Amino acid sequence: MKLEQVIVAYKSGDALAKRSAERCAQALEQRGINVLLGPSGPHDNPYPVFLGSVRNSIDLAVVLGGDGAALSAARNLAAAQIPILAVNIGGHLGFLAESPDDFDSETIWDRLLDDRYAIQRRMMLQAAIYEGHRDREPQSDTFLALNEMCIKPAAADRMLTSILEMEIDGEVVDQYQGDGLIVATPTGSTCYTVAANGPIVHPGMEAIVVTPICPLSLSSRPIVLPPGCIVSIWPLMDPDVNTKLWMDGVLATAIWPGQRVDIRVADCEAQFIILRENYSYYRTLEEKLQWAGARIRYSNHHRN
């Protein structure tokens, strides 16, 4: 890997992440590498400034924080094809991030320069708002998500029930009454989707997972779709314009009556650097989700 210009982003408001980022930036600058350093959080997004202020390409983004910081980096950097090294410093679950035990800022740069790492590509979703008829141009920007797009209402003074109609490739499939709909990637299947009783899908697959949130019908079930599908969602019975589109838990835009959200596989992928030589997705599931397995463990003598 070429390392001439590197982003170092850290979880805003976290002292440990900030100190680690400053040490990281110092180690890179001692090697003659230009560093773009800044906080990342709900009220801090350094990536548009970084991308717009440099002439030469950015070779790497080091993100020190939790899954939220990694998701933000993916949404902002995937289109520019910038690989992300996410390290769980100051985060909680850290599903997308490397362990800080595997991150030695004194030796990691030699590993990257010598190409002693792996890159895992993760499918993303893109969404846009359309006004009524299918042939019209989008009425919004294109929004990206690594985990999921979520269509659900929000109000300050009451709990709201949404009524949503879903089309797949132009064909009406179902109407949902409940708390909303999650349209997720395989990466996002272990986040909000699994909390809503959706399936866990291996991130090596390309698929779209649609999961109702607390539907008021036992017939409303999760569905797994092939990656070429376009999922269109229409809010119904929403005169107060409470329905919102959320990307990875971040508000994207409001949806007005008569509008629809089209969600499809994005044109770009997130690229995450893997440092662990014995990386296993199944061990990650076991560790992060604290799978206990059967209460009685049996020995498998057939392996001998």
In 24-45, which positions are buried (b, 16+ CB within 10 angstroms) versus exposed (e)?
bbebbeeeebebbbbbbbeeeb
Which secondary structure element, helix H or strand E, spans residue 99, and what is its range? none
Place of tokens 């949806």: 255
**DSSP conformation class of 106:** T
CA distances from 40 to 17, 72, 142, 219, 290 (A): 11, 8, 21, 41, 28
Residue 133 near residue 234 (C-beta atoms within 8 A): no
Token pair, residue 22, equals 């400053």
Q: Rounded to an integer, what distance in angstroms lies between the CA atom of residue 158 and that of residue 135?
A: 36
157 classed as catalytic: no
**Residue 244 contacts residue 153 (beta carbons within 8 Å):** yes
The percent helix, strand, coil of the chain (3-state, each to 5) is 20, 35, 45
The residue from 67, 174, 179, 238 that is catalytic is 67
Catalytic residue positions, numbered: 67
